[in-house]
C-alpha cells in the first residue's frame, strides 16, 4: 500500500551510485566500448535515478510537505463555516473544550493504534531530551488528559489537527495533516443517555450543513461478540473477523467469505452460520430496527446468548431515546457494522452522507486508524462522523487503573470541507473571504485624511471597514475592488459632500446612492447592515 520512501542515507548512496555509473558510461563511450554494455549501464543508471524520484537535482523546491496543503483565504472561509456549525452544536449541548500539545511523549502513543496504525506515527528527531511523536488522533491525548488530571466526568469537545504518515490521496480528502472534531462524554451515567446525545449531535451537524440525506448505522460490540460466539468463532479471531465483516458495505459476501475461510482460515461452518446474522440487514433493507432486534431475540441461539440479549436491550433503549429526540428515522441498526478499532465496548455508529459521490477512503476519523487503501468507496463520500463507547481506554493511563466510561463521536471534517467546497462550486455561490462591511472611497484627490477619519469612526463603532492604501486611488479601481469582494456598502467622500456635512452611501449590488448627514451615518449603516 505504501510507496517505499528512502531515508537520507539511502538517497545519498543512490546518488553516489548514479554518479559512478555516469562516470563509467562516459569512460565506456570514450573507449568506444560495446554498445550493448553501454545501453545496459544506462538502463541501470536510469533505474536508480527513478528510485530517487523527481528530485530537482539539489535545486530548492517551493512546496508544502507531502500530504499537506495550505489553506488559502477561500478554503479558510469554508473551513471556518464548517467548524462554526460543528462548534455551535457542541456548545448547544453544553460541552466544554480542551486543548493538548501537538506532540506527546512517544510512550503515550505506543501500542494504542495496532500494528498498522503504529507505523503511521510521525516521530520527532532525537535532539536530546524526551522522545516525542505527533498526535495520531485526539482520543488517546484525551484519555491521557483524563487520567493525568483525575477527571472522572466531563463533556468536552476538541477540534485540532492530527498527523498520520499515511500514503496521501489528496483528491480523495486523505491527508497527512488533517482536522478532527471530537465530542466525547466521560462519566458514569445511566445507560444510553450519553449515546443518544452523541447521535443527536451528529443529526444536528449534518442537518445544519444541509448536505442532503444521511444515515447513521448502529451496532453494538456485544452484538458482534454474541453473533460470533453463536456461530462458533474463536474469541481470539474477533478482531480479524471484524475487519473482514466491516467491508460488507463495499464488497460482496462471497468475497468476504473467501477472505475469512481461505486467507484467515476461519472454520467454514462458522462463517456460513455467521452469514445468517450479519447479512440480515442486507437482505431486509426495509425492515424496521425493531423487527431486526426481534429477529435476534426470537432466534433460538442468539436469543439465548447473554451478550446479544444485553446488546438488544441497549440498542432498543437507545432507539427509544432517539425517537424522543426525533432522529430515529435516520438511524439504521446494521449487525454488519464492525468499525476498525479494538477499544469499543458498547454501541458503535458510523454516518454516511448519501447524496455526494467522490472517490474517498472510508473512515479517516479517529476510530479507524487502520483504514487501508482497499477500503475505498467510489459510490459515496464514506463515513463523515463515527464513534462509539470505549469504557476501558482511560484505565490504560491511570496509575490505579481507574476506569472512566466514555462515549464519543468524531467528525471527519476534512471530507466535510471537500463536500462543502464541491457544493459551493456547483451552486456557483461566491465565498466571501473577509467580513468587510463598508469600503471608504473618494472620488477626488487629496482626500486621504478624510477617508482615514471615516475609517476611524467606523472601526470605533465596530463596523468592519477598509480603504485603499493609496493617497489618490482611482474611483473605478475602488468600486471594482468592492464588487470583486462582495463588500455590500461604499462610503464616498467628496468636496461637495464635505461642504454639506454629508457622506454618500452606495449600495454595491444595486448601485443606488444616497446622501446621509455625517451625524446619522452610524445609525444608517447599522440599519442597512442588519438586513444584509
Q: How far apart are CA 86 and CA 203, in angstroms?
A: 11
Question: Which of positions 4-33 make contact with a copy of itself (CB under 8 A)?
Answer: 4-8
* Total Cβ atoms within 10 A of residue 193: 13
Is residue 157 a known part of a binding site?
no
**Is 343 annotated as ligand-binding?**
yes
Cell of 415: 471530507
Residue of the chain from 288, 459, 519, 526 that contacts a copy of itself (CB under 8 A) = 459
Q: What is the DSSP string of 13-53?
A: HHHHHHHHHHHHHHHHHHTT--HHHHHHHHHHHHHHHHHH-
Q: Which of 425, 423, 418, 424 lies closest to 171 in space, CA to CA?
A: 418
Q: Which is nearer to a copy of itself, 234 or 449 (CB)?
A: 449
Q: List helix spans (H) across 475-516.
A: 475-484, 495-500
Whether the CB-CB separation of 283 and 248 falls below 8 Å is answered with no
Q: How many CA atoms lie within 13 A of 113 on its CB side?
A: 28
Q: Which of 342, 341, 334 is nearest to 311 (CA)?
A: 334
Give the interface size with a copy of itself as a residue count (CB under 8 A): 94
Spatial CA neighbour of 211 closest among 418, 4, 453, 18: 418
316 is in an annotated binding site: no
**Antiparallel, parallel or unpaired: β 383-389 and 154-163:** unpaired
Return the residue of 111, 232, 326, 517 that touches a copy of itself, per CB under 8 A: 326
- Annotated ligand binding at 172? The verdict is no
- Considering only 184, 204, 314, 497, the residue that binds a copy of itself (CB under 8 A) is 204
Which 75-104 residues touch a copy of itself, going by CB under 8 A?
A: 76-77, 79-80, 91-104
DSSP letters of 219-250? EEHHHHHHHHHHHT--GGGHHHHHHHHGGGGT
131 binds a copy of itself (CB under 8 A): yes
* DSSP 8-state class, residue 65: P
CA geometry: angle at 495 spanning 494 and 499, to 5°?
115
For residue 374, state whether it binds a copy of itself (rule: CB under 8 A).
Answer: no
Map the footprint of a copy of itself across residues 175-194, applying CB under 8 A.
177, 185, 187, 189-190, 193-194
- Provide the minimum distance between the beta carbon of 497 and a copy of itself in the complex, in angstroms, as a whole number: 18
Q: Does 399 bind a copy of itself (CB under 8 A)?
A: yes
Grid coordinates in use for 383? 463515513
Nearest residue (CB) to a copy of itself, 307 versus 442: 442
CA distance linking residue 435 with residue 361, whole number of Å: 35
Binding mask 35-54 for a copy of itself (x = CB under 8 A): --------------------
Q: Which of residues 426-455 bind a copy of itself (CB under 8 A)?
A: 433-436, 449, 452-453
Pick 166 or 246: Cβ nearer a copy of itself: 166
Find the binding residues for a copy of itself in span 51-80 (CB under 8 A).
60-66, 68-73, 76-77, 79-80
In contact, 356 and 380? CB cutoff 8 Å: yes
279 marked as binding residue:
no
Select the residue interacting with a copy of itself from 138, 147, 490, 491 (CB under 8 A).
Answer: 147
Question: How far separated are the first and last CA of the chain, in Å rounded?
Answer: 51
Residue closer to a copy of itself, measured from CB, 225 or 364: 364
Task: For residue 499, give Cα distances in angstroms to 21, 449, 473, 502.
Answer: 82, 15, 21, 8
Q: Give 232 or 326: the residue with its C-beta nearer to a copy of itself.
A: 326
Of positions 234, 445, 456, 526, contacts a copy of itself by CB under 8 A: 456
Closest to a copy of itself by CB, 335 or 473 = 473
Nearest-CA neighbor of 78 among 148, 223, 179? 179
Nearest to 404 by CA among 128, 64, 147: 147
DSSP-derived secondary structure for 385-414: EEEEE-SSTGGGT-TT-----EEEEEE-HH
Does position 484 bind a copy of itself by CB under 8 A?
no
Nearest CB to a copy of itself, comparing residues 8 and 426? 8
Binding residue (CB under 8 A) for a copy of itself from 144, 217, 339, 367: 144
Is 138 labelled as part of a ligand binding site? yes
Q: Which is nearer to a copy of itself, 391 or 466 (CB)?
A: 466
> Is 15 annotated as belonging to a binding site?
no
In this complex, which beta carbon is closest to a copy of itself, that of residue 89 or of residue 362?
A: 89
Site for a copy of itself, residues 215 to 274, rule: CB under 8 A: none
**Within a 10 A sphere around the Cβ of 102, how many other Cβ atoms?**
13
Task: Please report whether residue 483 would count as binding a copy of itself according to CB under 8 A.
Answer: no
Binding residues: 137-139, 164, 180, 184, 339, 343-344
Binding residues for L-histidine: 137-139, 164, 180, 184, 339, 343-344
Amino acid at each position: 500500500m505504501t510507496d517505499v520512501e528512502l531515508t537520507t542515507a539511502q538517497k545519498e548512496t543512490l546518488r553516489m551510485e548514479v554518479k559512478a555509473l555516469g562516470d563509467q558510461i562516459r569512460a565506456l563511450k570514450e573507449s568506444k566500448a560495446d554498445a550493448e554494455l553501454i545501453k545496459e549501464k544506462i538502463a541501470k543508471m536510469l533505474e536508480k535515478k527513478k528510485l530517487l524520484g523527481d528530485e530537482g537535482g539539489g535545486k530548492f523546491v517551493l512546496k508544502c510537505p507531502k500530504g499537506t496543503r495550505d489553506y488559502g483565504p477561500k478554503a479558510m472561509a469554508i473551513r471556518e463555516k464548517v467548524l462554526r456549525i460543528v462548534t455551535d452544536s457542541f456548545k448547544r449541548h453544553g460541552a466544554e473544550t480542551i486543548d493538548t500539545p501537538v506532540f506527546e511523549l512517544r510512550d503515550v502513543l505506543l501500542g494504542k493504534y495496532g500494528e498498522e496504525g503504529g507505523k503511521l506515527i510521525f516521530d520527532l528527531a532525537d535532539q536530546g531530551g524526551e522522545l516525542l511523536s505527533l498526535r495520531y488522533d485526539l482520543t488517546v491525548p484525551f484519555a491521557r488528559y483524563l487520567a493525568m488530571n483525575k477527571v472522572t466526568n466531563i463533556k468536552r469537545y476538541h477540534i485540532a489537527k492530527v498527523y498520520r504518515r499515511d500514503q496521501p490521496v489528496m483528491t480523495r480528502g486523505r491527508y497527512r495533516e488533517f482536522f478532527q472534531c471530537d465530542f466525547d462524554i466521560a462519566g458514569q451515567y445511566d445507560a444510553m443517555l450519553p449515546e443518544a446525545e452523541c447521535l443527536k449531535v451528529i443529526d444536528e451537524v449534518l442537518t445544519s450543513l444541509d448536505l442532503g440525506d444521511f444515515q447513521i448505522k448502529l451496532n453494538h460490540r456485544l452484538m458482534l461478540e454474541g453473533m460470533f460466539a453463536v456461530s462458533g468463532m474463536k474469541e481470539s479471531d474477533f478482531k480479524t473477523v471484524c475487519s473482514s465483516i466491516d467491508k460488507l458495505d463495499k464488497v460482496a459476501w462471497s468475497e468476504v467469505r473467501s477472505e475469512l475461510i481461505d486467507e484467515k482460515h476461519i472454520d467454514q461452518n462458522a462463517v456460513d452460520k455467521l452469514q445468517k446474522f450479519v447479512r440480515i440487514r442486507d437482505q431486509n433493507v426495509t425492515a424496521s430496527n425493531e423487527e431486526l432486534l426481534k429477529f435476534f431475540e426470537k432466534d433460538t441461539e442468539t436469543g439465548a446468548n447473554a451478550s446479544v440479549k444485553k446488546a438488544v436491550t441497549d440498542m432498543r433503549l437507545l432507539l427509544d431515546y432517539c425517537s424522543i429526540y426525533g432522529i430515529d428515522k435516520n438511524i439504521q441498526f446494521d449487525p454488519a457494522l464492525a468499525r476498525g478499532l479494538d477499544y469499543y465496548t458498547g454501541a458503535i455508529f458510523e454516518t454516511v452522507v448519501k447524496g455526494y459521490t467522490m472517490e474517498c477512503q472510508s473512515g479517516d476519523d479517529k476510530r479507524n486508524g487502520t483504514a487501508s487503501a482497499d477500503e475505498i468507496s467510489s459510490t459515496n463520500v464514506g463515513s463523515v462522523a463515527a464513534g462509539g463507547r470505549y469504557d476501558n481506554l482511560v484505565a490504560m493511563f491511570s496509575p490505579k487503573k481507574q476506569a472512566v466510561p466514555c462515549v464519543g463521536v468524531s467528525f471527519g471534517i476534512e471530507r466535510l470541507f471537500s463536500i462543502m467546497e464541491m457544493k459551493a462550486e456547483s451552486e456557483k455561490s461566491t465565498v466571501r473571504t473577509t467580513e468587510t462591511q463598508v469600503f471608504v472611497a473618494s472620488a477626488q484627490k487629496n482626500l486621504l485624511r478624510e477617508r482615514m477619519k471615516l475609517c476611524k469612526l467606523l472601526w470605533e463603532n465596530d463596523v468592519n471597514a477598509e480603504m485603499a492604501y493609496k493617497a489618490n486611488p482611482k474611483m473605478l479601481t475602488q468600486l471594482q475592488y468592492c464588487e470583486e469582494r462582495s463588500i455590500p456598502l461604499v462610503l464616498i467622500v467628496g468636496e461637495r459632500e464635505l461642504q454639506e456635512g454629508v457622506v454618500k452611501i452606495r449600495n454595491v449590488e444595486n448601485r443606488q446612492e444616497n446622501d446621509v448627514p455625517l451625524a446619522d451615518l452610524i445609525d444608517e449603516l447599522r440599519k442597512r447592515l442588519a438586513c444584509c
